Amino acid sequence: MKRLERHKLKENDFAQTVARTRDLLAQRQREATTAVVAIAALTVLAAGFYGYRASQNARATNMLASALAVAEAQVVAPPPPAPGSPPPVQPPGTFRTDRERLDAALPLLQQAADAYPGTEAGITARYRLAATLAGLGRYAEAEQRYQEVVQKTGEKSIYHFTAKLGVAEAQLAEGKTDAAIATFREVSADANSALPVDGVLMQLGRAALVAGKKDEAARAFTRVVDEFPQSLYASEAREKLAEIKKA
């Protein structure tokens, strides 16, 4: 009797062990299934995100291309009509004047810049928008758009530095000579700048001359001559120094 009871106890222990093992395996299977589903969901989300970004970039690039097609269209001034003849027809895709072309490109560049501001195409559009505003004589607006490009880009982007130059040039055109000189000076002293230092120094020197600051202009031109003797600007820098000495 005792042997039979012991045998039944062993059977019960074995059954319980099997049941626990089965439950454990089922739990592990559920956990594994949950993990697979989670990974699959993350993969779908990641694919969706990158697909969305790719789609955004494509749309931004298309908008920029459309704007640049206008901004870089040919300017063709039609000849005056012969007496008694109708005005000549303007060739398709061209403009009679540069001003007309700038006016036509402006809203397209604005649209591309605002629609996708964080994309490379959007930043390029904003930079070209700033240059277009400057070309139209709207220097205060141009300065602001250039400042936005500086803020939206890092030092690895060439637009970061060229936009700073745009800021200085717009400031100079506005008559804000002290601000322009400070900006040119900042760019010329930036070791991370991808711009040629000799060219920036020349712009600094010219701005200083406009402001009547001959000493600062002389320092900038002297640096071009001394530090960049083979520069394309070296000859002009020497001429400017000679003019300053004569004055």
Q: Is residue 242 part of a domain?
A: yes
Residue 48 lies inside a defined structural domain of this protein: no
Do 230 and 166 belong together in one domain? no
In DSSP terms, 95 is beta-bridged to 75
Are 69 and 162 members of one domain?
A: yes
My answer on whether 165 and 236 are in the same domain is no
What average pLDDT does the segment 48-52 reach? 48
Domain stop point among 143, 176, 209:
176
The answer to whether residue 22 is domain-embedded is no
If pLDDT is split at 50, 70 and 90, which confidence band does 138 have? very high
Domain harbouring 68, CATH code? 1.25.40
Q: For residue range 191-203, list pLDDT tens digits in order.
A: 888 899 999 999 9
Residue 235 falls inside a structural domain:
yes
Report whether pLDDT(8) > 50.
Answer: no
Q: What is the pLDDT of residue 182?
A: 96
Mean pLDDT, to the nearest integer, of 217-228? 96
Please state, for a pLDDT cut of 70, what percent of the chain lies above it.
77
Together in a domain, 62 and 154: yes
In percent, the amount of the chain with pLDDT more than 90 equals 60
Query: 177-189 vs 197-210: helix axis angle to the nearest 10?
Result: 160
CB half-sphere exposure, 170, CA atoms < 13 A? 25
CB < 8 Å & 24+ apart, contacts of 55-58: 56/116, 56/119, 57/116, 57/119, 57/120, 57/121
Whether residue 67 is found in the same domain as residue 161:
yes
Give the dihedral of Cα atoms 120, 123, 127, 132; nearest 10 deg. 100
Residue in 192, 188, 180, 101 with CA at minimum distance from that of residue 153: 192
pLDDT of residue 27: 55
Amino acid identity for residue 172 in this structure: L
| Structure confidence at residue 229 (pLDDT) | 95
What's the structural domain count of the chain?
2
Q: Which residue has the higher pLDDT, 104 or 39?
A: 104
In this prediction, residue 167 carries a pLDDT of: 97
Looking at 144, 176, 208, the residue that finishes a domain is: 176
Residues 68 and 161 in one domain: yes
pLDDT digits (tens, 9 = 90+) for 58-106: 787 888 899 999 999 999 988 887 787 788 888 888 999 999 999 999 9
Does 8 reside within a domain?
no
Report yes or no on 185 lying in a domain: no
Q: Where are the alpha helices (DSSP H) in 72-119?
A: 98-115
Q: Is the pLDDT of residue 127 over 70?
A: yes
pTM attached to this predicted model: 0.74
Tell whether 222 and 160 lie within a shared domain: no
Query: Is residue 118 within 8 Å of residue 137, measured between CB atoms?
Result: no
Structure confidence at residue 49 (pLDDT): 40
- Among the candidates 146, 176, 206, a domain finishes at 176
Mean pLDDT estimate for the chain: 83
Query: What is the C-alpha to C-alpha distance for residues 140 and 132, in angstroms, rounded to an integer?
Result: 12
Residue 191 lies in a domain: no
| Residue-number span of the structural domain to which 215 is assigned | 196-247
12 inside domain: no
Render pLDDT for 156-180 as a digit per residue (tens, 0 to 9): 899 999 999 999 999 999 999 999 9
